[in-house]
Structure 1
Amino acid sequence: MEKYKIHIKYMVSLRCIIVVKEELNKLGIKFLNVSLGEVEILGKITKQQKDDLSINLKKIGLELLDDKKSILIEKVKNEIITMIHHSESLPIINFSDFLTEKLEYDYTYLSNIFTEVQGITIQQFIIYNKIEKVKELLVYDELNLTEISYLVGYSSVAHLSNQFKKVTGLTPSFFKHIKQQRQKYLKNI
């Protein structure tokens, strides 16, 4: 039986994978695997099924991708998101080597296309995602800033704090303080 891949934009979480699987099942589309941004289809998919899938995905904020540049950009984003948000620890190699190895493209090529299409650099995208992970870890309140810094791949707490403030306008400790104040306020309602 023939296999091929379709690519989906804006898949960023495990919940997205579950929702896409549900949509595929509703439409009777057989698949082998669903991962962030990609579905491996088993057999033929009719034009009507593809159109219906496209419509259903748009309703939930996802989008089928057709052009090669957009597909490549989504692969870059999904590798970064998976690495930062869904793995136990960050790889020891640097991000450029990691992406080159995973996607089998020269990093300069990936970087140029990413910046052209997204309007930000891959490095900025990585930083934004690392800061989101730091926010999540601060909200969980299970690790101290030194542990979070190490877990997210910063060389020091100072480096993490500087990037956090650049991106959010707040220090990590003030962010945590705001979260605690909000929780107190919500408890009193």
Structure 2
Amino acid sequence: MKLYIKYMVSLRCKMMVKSELEKLGLHYVNVDLGMIEILENITTEQRMQLKANLLKSGLELLDDKKSILIEKIKNVIIEMIHYSDELPTENYSDYISGKLGYDYTYLANTFSEVKGITIQQFIIVHKIERVKELLLYNELNLTEISYKLHYSSVAHLSNQFKKVTGLSPSFYKHLKQKRKDNLENL
């Protein structure tokens, strides 16, 4: 039986989920990317208890099919952008559709209806968050970041960055460095 939980992909969240499952005597096969797979059928009482315990930890057990699908879409995008070394070379729409086994038009319409933004807008926001991370690590220059995240050019990355944050990438990096320097000098 598979259950879906709304949580960020982190070791801490996985450990909390595993702990709650163990408290209820539930045996799991896998806890990964917002989904847990348990070996036995879960009773209504166990489900309610798990839901309540997870909620206390800031996690949410998802019940309706649209919410589950939206979380799956978000998790695929977050994993693709934040947790893989290379973005897929195929179109994002083909990649997401292939990963989830649904027609992309259906996924896009459902996502927009529930979230109020398009999948493409969600991808852009997360790509910009990834750019911010990479800028702060200071290991890659803007050209390398642009290439890594499949932007057509540094100018395209910079324009998109400015649209989302209101700042140029270099000014953002300068601000973060200035804050870091100020904290170190305290």
TM norm structure 2: 0.95
Q: Specify the code of the residue in structure 2 equivalent to 1:16.
A: C
Is 1:53 the counterpart of 2:50? The answer is: yes
> Any conservation in 2 of the 1:11–1:17 contact (CA below 8 Å)?
no
List alignment gaps of at least 5 residues for structure 1.
none
> Any conservation in 2 of the 1:9–1:65 contact (CA below 8 Å)?
yes
Aligned to 1:157: 154
Change over 3 Å in CA distance of 1:15–1:84 after alignment to 2: farther
Aligned to 2:173: 176
Greater mean deviation of Cα atoms: 44-53 or 25-34 = 44-53
Is 1:31 the counterpart of 2:31? The answer is: no
1:26-175 mapped onto 2 (5 Å cutoff): 26-175=23-172
Partners of 1:162 and 1:60 in 2: how far apart?
A: 39
SS in 2 for 1:137: helix
Deviation at 1:44, TM superposition (A): 2.5
Partners of 1:96 and 1:14 in 2: how far apart?
A: 28
Identity %: 67
Is 1:10 the counterpart of 2:7? The answer is: yes
Deviation at 1:9, TM superposition (A): 1.5
Provide the aligned length of Structure 1 versus Structure 2.
186
Greater mean deviation of Cα atoms: 10-19 or 139-148 = 10-19
TM-align CA RMSD: 1.3
TM norm structure 1: 0.93
Greater mean deviation of Cα atoms: 41-50 or 118-127 = 41-50
